């Protein structure tokens, strides 16, 4: 009897601990679903009134109660994917350098600096972009493209003002670069030394090891960093508000001004509450932004899972 009591107490504590952790997980899931339900409920009047055409109508006219999301969806996708195109190659290069080539005595210092950059408030990046990126685009880049590439619609400079899709994309790229680079470095550091040493012992070069051993092993972790970067880019607000030009038009080129979903919500939601249908239309924009994030995440995970042969569940970000 004296032996069984401690065993029962340990089992009781273990079950209680597991129950508490389960409640934590269920609580997070519940908060997410409640948030989605609240957003869906508030957007319901606009969904019923405007239906599916809300997604491809370009007009946004609050006084006439004519609302369409195409302008803002296009601006959001332009800024997000351009930022990823600019940042991902640089971030991968930084991560590989820090883990594989950087001298050991500098690695910790540079890693801390990059991680600190990820914590800088977005408004600081926005102000920096207004003071540096916008003048550079206006005085150097846009005149160059206007002189040599004006015949290409996607590169045509409509107004030489510096503000627009390209300015916002460059600054957002700098904002998400530290996140992707830091996670890439951490993912590469998790590659077993035994695998790398074995490849080197068989005659592979350092570059061969990185391409054929380290990067494939860390692919899931790198993907996780890119998804986190995408999440910040697609929802970035203050920096984009300062740089994108804030005009409700569908961008026709890299240098066009525009609007993203998050920036239009930040600029106009305070005024939208005076009209129930106007407020509902803006909440529907938030719902669309949520759906875009979820779809990209789901599609990306499926693509990654097929690329690495179903090993996602055994990789770093899929459960060890």
- Per-residue pLDDT of the chain (320 residues), as tens digits, is 445 555 556 667 777 888 888 899 999 999 989 989 999 999 999 999 888 888 888 888 888 888 888 999 999 999 999 999 999 999 999 999 988 888 888 888 888 888 888 888 889 999 999 999 999 999 999 889 888 887 888 888 888 888 999 999 999 999 999 989 988 888 888 888 888 878 778 877 888 888 888 888 888 888 888 888 888 888 888 899 999 988 888 888 889 898 999 988 888 888 777 888 888 999 999 999 988 888 887 877 776 666 555 444 444 333 33
Q: How far apart are CA 16 and CA 4, in angstroms?
A: 18
Per-residue model confidence (pLDDT) at position 167: 93
| Tokens coding 300 | 């990306």
Q: In angstroms, how far is CA 15 from the centroid of its own chain?
A: 38
CB 267 within 8 A of CB 237: no
C-alpha atoms less than 13 angstroms from C-alpha of 81 in its C-beta half-sphere: 10
Per-residue model confidence (pLDDT) at position 124: 92
Residue with tokens 């939208």: 272
CA dihedral 221, 100, 171, 225 (to 10 degrees): 0
List of residues 6+ apart from 4 with CB closer than 8 A: none
Per-residue model confidence (pLDDT) at position 217: 84
Nearest to 174 by CA among 139, 131, 126, 235: 126
The phi and psi torsions of 153 (rounded to 5 degrees) equal -55, -40
CB 74 within 8 A of CB 58: no
| Whole-number CA gyration radius for the chain | 24
CA dihedral 35, 39, 41, 42 (to 10 degrees): 140
CB 114 within 8 A of CB 178: yes
Per-residue model confidence (pLDDT) at position 308: 55
Per-residue model confidence (pLDDT) at position 117: 85
Q: In angstroms, how far is CA 35 from the centroid of its own chain?
A: 20
Q: Where are the beta strands (DSSP E) in the chain?
A: 60-61, 66-67
Q: Measure CA of the first residue to CA of the last residue in the chain; give whole Å.
A: 40
Identify the bridge partners of residue 66 per DSSP, sorted by sequence position: 61
| Tokens coding 200 | 């080197």
Q: How far apart are CA 234 and CA 232, in angstroms?
A: 6
CB 146 within 8 A of CB 157: yes
Nearest to 214 by CA among 236, 182, 192, 232: 192
Question: Structure pTM?
Answer: 0.83
């Amino acid at each position: 009897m004296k032996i069984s009591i401690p065993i029962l107490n340990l089992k009781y504590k273990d079950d209680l601990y597991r129950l508490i952790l389960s409640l934590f997980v269920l609580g997070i899931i519940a908060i997410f679903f409640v948030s989605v339900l609240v957003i869906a409920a508030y957007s319901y009047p606009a969904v019923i009134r405007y239906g599916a055409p809300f997604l491809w109508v370009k007009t946004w006219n609050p006084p006439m109660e004519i609302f369409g999301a195409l302008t803002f969806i296009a601006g959001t996708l332009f800024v997000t994917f351009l930022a990823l195109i600019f940042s991902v190659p640089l971030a991968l290069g930084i991560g590989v350098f820090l883990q594989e080539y950087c001298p050991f005595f500098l690695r910790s210092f540079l890693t801390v600096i990059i991680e600190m950059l990820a914590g800088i408030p977005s408004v600081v990046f926005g102000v920096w972009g207004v003071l540096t990126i916008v003048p550079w685009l206006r005085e150097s880049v846009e005149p160059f493209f206007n002189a040599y590439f004006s015949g290409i619609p996607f590169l045509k400079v409509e107004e030489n003002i510096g503000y627009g899709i390209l300015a916002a994309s460059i600054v957002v790229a700098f904002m998400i670069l530290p996140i992707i680079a830091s996670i890439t470095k951490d993912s590469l550091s998790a590659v077993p030394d035994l695998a790398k040493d074995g490849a080197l012992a068989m005659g592979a070069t350092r570059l061969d090891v990185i391409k054929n051993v380290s990067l494939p092993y860390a692919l899931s972790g790198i993907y996780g960093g890119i998804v986190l970067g995408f999440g910040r880019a697609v929802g970035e607000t203050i920096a984009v508000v300062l740089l994108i030009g804030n005009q409700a038009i569908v961008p026709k080129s890299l240098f066009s001004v525009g609007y993203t979903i998050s920036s239009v919500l930040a600029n106009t939601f305070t005024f939208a509450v005076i009209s129930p249908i106007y407020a509902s239309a803006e909440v529907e924009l938030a719902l669309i932004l949520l759906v875009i994030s979820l779809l990209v995440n789901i599609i990306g995970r499926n693509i990654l899972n097929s690329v690495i042969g179903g090993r996602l569940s055994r990789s770093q970000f899929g459960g060890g």
